[in-house]
C-alpha cells in the first residue's frame, strides 16, 4: 500500500454505528477540506458505536483499498492487539464526534507554547497558630500541589506564636518555601532563624528591628513594605528607603482594599507605585476581593492576575477561607498562565483555558428538535436515551418519546408506560435527569453517562454503568451518548 503524497491526500476510514452516521458525515464534510484528507465511513452493524469492542471491530470491519489509517470512536473498548489483523494503523478518536476538529488540530485548542508564567503564588495558611503541626504540613502540601510557590504562615495578632519556628522548620524539611505573615518582630525573627524567606510585612511599627535583620540573618530573605495607613500611601516611601539603605530586599504592597472601602483608589495606588518605582518588586494580596465579595472567586482571580501581569506585579498572596474561594490557589495557577500568554502575545485571554469556565460551558452543542425526533424514529430497543436542549428534557426509547421541562411529570409518564421498570432503572433515570436539569438551568452541555463539565472542579463519575439493558434486548441496542461517533 502506498502512502499519501502531495497530489494524493490521505484516505482515512472512520468507523461508526447506524445512529451516528448522518452526524459523522456532516462533521467530516466540513472538516476534511480544512485538514486535507479524503474521508470514508464504515457503518458497522451495530446501533450505537459506544458499544464497540476492538475484537468485534476486527471481526466485522472490511477495510477498503487505499486506506492509510482508521479512526475508531473514543468509547471503543478493548486492547489494540486484535486490530493488528486489519493491516492498517488504527487510532481511537474522541468520545464525541463533534470534537473531531480538535482531534485533527483544527479546533480552539491552546497553542503549543501556552503555559508559561512569571507570577508567584503565595498561599496563606490562616490562623496557623491554632493548627497542629500535622495539619499545617498537610495544608501546605496541598497548596503546593495546587500550584503555590510559597507557603505563608498566618500569625494571629495580639500575641507571640511560640511554635512558629517549629512550623517553619517542618515545612522547610518538606522542601517547601516559607513566608511569615506578622508585624510582630519577635515572631518574624523566629521565622527567619528557622529558614523563612519572605516577611509580610514591614512598616513604621517594626522598621527599627527590620533594619537589623541582614546582619543577623544574612541576605537570604525579602520583606514586604506596606503603608502605615492601608487606605493611603502614608509612611511607605520612608519604609522603602530605610529598608533599601539597610540592604534589605523589598517588595512593595500598597494594599488592595475591598469594594466599598476604596477598591478603585487602591488599584490606582498600585499604578502610582509602579510609576514611582519602575523597577521595584511588588506584591498584591487578593483576599480582600476574593474573600469579601459575594461571587465565585475564579473570575476575580483572573481579573486581578491580569492586572498584576500588565503592571508588573510578580507575586500574589491568596487565601482559601470562605467556601466560594476554596480553590483560589488552583484558579490562580491557571489564571497566571492565561494572562501571561494574553499579555506577551497581545491577544485576548479567550479560548485558551477552558478549566476556568466553570458555571457555564464555553460552547453549547445542540442536536436540535428535528434531529432528536429523527433519532427517536430509529430507536427500537427499550433502553433510555436522555437529551437536554433549549430548555427541554427529551426522554426516548423504542416505546416512547417524551419531552418537557418537568422531570417529575416525565418520570410519571414513564412509570405509566413501562411496566418492566425496576429500582435500578428508576434510580438511573432519576440521576441522569437531575444532571440534565442542572445543565438546562446553567446552559451547560449534557451528555448521558458523562459528568457535567465544571472546568477545574469537574468530578469524575464512576465508570461502571447501571444494568440498563432489559432482558431480551439485542446486544447492539443499548447505549446513549447522542454525539458519539
The model's pLDDT over 386-430, given as tens digits with 9 standing for 90+, comes to 999 999 999 999 999 999 999 999 999 999 999 999 998 999 999
The kind and range of the H/E element at 396 are: strand 392-396
- Is the pLDDT reported for residue 254 higher than 70? yes
Residue 485's pLDDT band, with cuts at 50, 70 and 90, is: very low
Inform me whether the pLDDT recorded for 147 exceeds 70: yes
- Residue 298: is the preceding peptide bond cis (ω within 30°)? no
pLDDT confidence bin for 371, thresholds 50/70/90: confident
Higher pLDDT among residues 189 and 484, named by residue: 189
Q: The CATH number of 120-356 is which of 3.90.1310.10, 3.20.20.20, 3.20.10.10, 3.40.50.1980?
A: 3.20.20.20
Distance between CA 42 and CA 230 in Å, rounded?
Answer: 69
pLDDT score at 368: 83
The pLDDT value recorded for residue 177 is 98
Residue of 85 and 109 predicted with greater confidence? 85
Distance between CA atoms of residues 68 and 343, nearest Å: 42
**Cα–Cα distance measured from residue 156 to residue 151, given in angstroms and rounded to the nearest whole number:** 16
pLDDT over 60 (residue 310): yes
Per-residue model confidence (pLDDT) at position 475? 40
Other beta carbons within 10 angstroms of residue 312's beta carbon come to 14
Given a cut of 80, is residue 474 above it in pLDDT? no
pLDDT higher than 70, residue 3: no
Q: What is the mean pLDDT of residues 312-328?
A: 98
**Average pLDDT along the chain:** 90
For residues 460-483, give the mean pLDDT.
48
Write down the pLDDT at residue 123.
98
The span from the CA of 410 to the CA of 449, in Å, is: 19
The set of long-range contacts for 474-479, using a CB threshold of 8 Å and a minimum separation of 24, is 474/381, 475/51, 476/17, 476/45, 476/46, 476/47, 476/48, 476/51, 477/47, 477/48, 477/380, 477/381, 477/382, 477/383, 478/47, 478/48, 478/51, 478/381, 478/383, 479/48, 479/50, 479/51, 479/383, 479/449
**CB-count burial class (<10 Å; 0-12, 13-18, 19+) for 362:** middle
Q: Which segments within 187-341 are labelled E, that is strand?
A: 198-202, 222-225, 249-252, 281-285, 315-318
The three cell numbers of residue 233 are 500611601
pLDDT at 352 over 70: yes
pTM: 0.82
Q: Say if residues 362 and 351 touch (Cβ distance below 8 Å).
A: yes
Q: What is the pLDDT of residue 375?
A: 80
CATH of 10-103, one of 3.40.50, 2.40.50, 3.90.1070, 3.30.70: 3.40.50
- What does the alpha-carbon distance between residue 273 and residue 253 come to, in Å, rounded to a whole number? 9
Residue 165 has pLDDT above 60, yes or no: yes
Q: Any idea where the domains of the chain sit in the sequence?
A: 10-103, 120-356, 369-450
pLDDT of residue 476: 41
- What's the pLDDT score for residue 370? 84
Helix axes 297-311, 263-276, angle to 10 degrees: 20
Residues 212, 218, 223, 225, Cα dihedral to 10°: 40
For residues 231-246, average pLDDT: 96
Predicted confidence band of residue 5 (pLDDT cuts 50, 70, 90): low
CB-CB contact of 8 with 36 (8 Å):
no
219-225 average pLDDT score? 96
**Average pLDDT value for residue range 442-452:** 90
Examine the pLDDT at 467 and tell me if it is beyond 60: no
pLDDT of amino acid 47: 76
Amino acid at each position: 500500500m502506498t502512502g499519501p503524497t502531495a497530489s494524493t491526500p490521505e484516505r482515512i476510514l472512520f468507523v461508526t454505528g447506524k445512529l451516528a452516521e448522518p452526524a459523522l458525515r456532516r462533521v467530516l464534510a466540513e472538516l476534511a477540506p480544512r485538514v486535507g484528507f479524503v474521508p470514508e465511513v464504515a457503518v458497522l452493524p451495530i446501533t450505537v458505536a459506544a458499544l464497540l469492542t476492538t475484537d468485534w471491530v476486527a471481526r466485522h470491519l472490511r477495510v477498503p483499498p487505499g486506506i492509510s489509517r482508521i479512526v475508531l470512536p473514543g468509547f471503543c473498548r478493548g486492547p489494540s492487539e486484535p486490530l493488528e489483523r486489519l493491516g492498517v494503523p488504527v487510532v481511537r478518536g474522541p468520545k464525541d464526534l463533534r470534537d473531531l476538529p480538535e482531534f485533527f488540530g483544527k479546533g480552539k485548542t491552546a497553542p503549543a507554547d501556552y503555559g508559561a508564567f512569571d507570577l508567584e503564588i503565595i498561599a496563606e495558611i490562616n490562623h496557623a497558630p491554632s493548627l497542629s503541626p500535622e495539619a499545617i504540613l498537610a495544608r501546605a502540601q496541598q497548596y503546593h500541589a495546587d500550584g503555590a510557590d510559597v507557603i505563608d504562615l498566618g500569625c494571629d495578632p495580639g500575641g507571640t506564636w511560640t511554635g512558629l519556628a517549629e512550623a517553619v522548620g517542618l515545612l522547610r524539611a518538606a522542601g517547601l518555601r516559607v513566608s511569615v505573615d506578622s508585624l510582630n518582630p519577635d515572631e518574624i525573627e523566629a521565622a527567619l532563624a528557622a529558614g523563612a524567606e519572605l516577611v509580610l510585612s514591614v512598616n513604621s511599627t517594626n522598621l527599627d528591628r527590620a533594619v537589623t535583620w541582614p546582619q543577623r540573618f544574612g541576605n537570604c530573605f525579602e520583606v514586604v513594605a506596606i503603608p502605615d495607613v492601608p487606605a493611603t500611601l502614608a509612611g511607605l516611601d520612608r519604609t522603602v528607603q530605610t529598608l533599601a539603605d539597610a540592604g534589605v530586599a523589598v517588595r512593595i504592597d500598597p494594599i488592595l482594599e475591598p469594594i466599598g472601602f476604596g477598591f478603585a483608589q487602591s488599584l490606582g495606588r498600585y499604578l502610582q507605585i509602579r510609576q514611582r518605582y519602575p523597577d521595584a518588586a511588588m506584591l498584591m494580596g487578593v483576599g480582600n476581593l476574593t474573600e469579601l465579595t459575594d461571587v465565585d472567586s475564579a473570575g476575580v482571580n483572573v481579573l486581578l492576575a491580569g492586572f498584576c501581569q500588565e503592571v508588573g506585579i510578580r507575586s500574589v498572596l491568596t487565601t482559601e477561607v470562605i467556601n466560594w474561594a476554596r480553590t483560589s490557589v488552583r484558579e490562580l495557577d491557571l489564571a497566571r498562565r492565561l494572562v501571561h500568554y494574553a499579555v506577551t502575545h497581545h491577544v485576548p485571554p479567550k479560548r485558551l483555558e477552558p478549566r476556568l469556565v466553570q458555571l457555564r460551558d464555553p460552547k453549547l452543542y445542540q442536536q436540535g428538535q428535528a434531529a432528536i425526533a429523527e433519532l427517536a424514529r430509529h430507536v427500537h430497543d427499550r433502553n433510555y436515551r436522555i437529551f437536554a436542549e433549549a430548555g427541554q428534557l427529551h426522554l426516548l426509547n423504542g416505546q416512547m418519546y417524551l419531552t418537557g421541562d418537568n422531570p417529575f411529570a416525565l418520570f410519571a409518564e414513564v412509570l405509566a408506560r413501562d411496566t418492566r421498570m425496576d429500582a435500578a432503572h428508576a434510580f438511573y433515570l432519576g440521576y441522569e435527569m437531575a444532571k440534565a436539569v442542572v445543565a438546562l438551568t446553567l446552559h451547560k452541555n449534557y451528555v448521558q453517562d458523562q459528568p457535567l463539565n465544571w472546568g477545574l472542579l469537574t468530578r469524575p463519575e464512576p465508570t461502571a454503568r447501571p444494568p440498563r439493558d432489559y432482558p431480551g434486548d439485542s446486544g447492539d441496542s443499548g447505549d446513549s451518548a447522542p454525539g458519539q461517533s
